[in-house]
């Protein structure tokens, strides 16, 4: 099996009530439990909105992260799948599509040591 990363993006101005947040969290826990039961979930975490960016030939630090448009990267999961197509199918369980959020799916490359 290969490792894939799900990168979660959503509107930067997304605001939920405490009740809505609770409902979404239950959806997340159910989805992760389903992936775990299938032996597909490896790990993941939400990310804070604040961060820094280091870039340039003479590295400089700037505030960030800044996404194109009005989207923020909200977190990630690492899952196991046989192929990009299977990983894409597993992403259909993502609970935040109704909040205008999206999933980017990338295969992780194993680096031999």
pLDDT at 52: 83
Q: Which residues of 17-50 are buried (b: 16+ CB within 10 A; e: fewer)?
A: eeeeeeebeeebeebbeebeeeebbbebeeeeee
The CB-side HSE value for 26 (13 A sphere, CA atoms) comes to 5
Cα Rg for the chain, rounded, in angstroms? Answer: 16
- CATH architecture designation of domain 2-107: 2-Layer Sandwich (3.30)
Listed by start position, the domains of the chain span 2-107
pLDDT at 98: 92
Q: For 70-101, how does the pLDDT look when each residue is reduced to its tens digit (9 = 90+)?
A: 677 889 999 999 999 999 999 999 999 999 99
- Which residue, 53, 105, 64, 61, is CA-closest to 83? 105
């Amino acid at each position: 099996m290969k490792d894939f990363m799900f990168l979660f993006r959503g509107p930067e101005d997304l605001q939920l009530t405490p009740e809505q947040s609770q409902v979404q969290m239950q959806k997340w826990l159910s989805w992760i439990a389903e992936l775990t039961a299938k032996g597909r979930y490896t790990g993941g975490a939400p990310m804070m909105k604040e961060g820094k960016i280091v870039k340039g030939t003479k590295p400089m630090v700037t505030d960030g992260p800044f996404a194109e448009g009005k989207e923020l990267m909200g977190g990630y999961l690492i899952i196991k799948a046989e192929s990009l197509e299977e990983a894409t199918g597993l992403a259909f369980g993502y609970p935040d599509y109704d909040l205008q959020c999206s999933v980017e799916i990338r295969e992780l490359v194993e680096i031999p040591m």
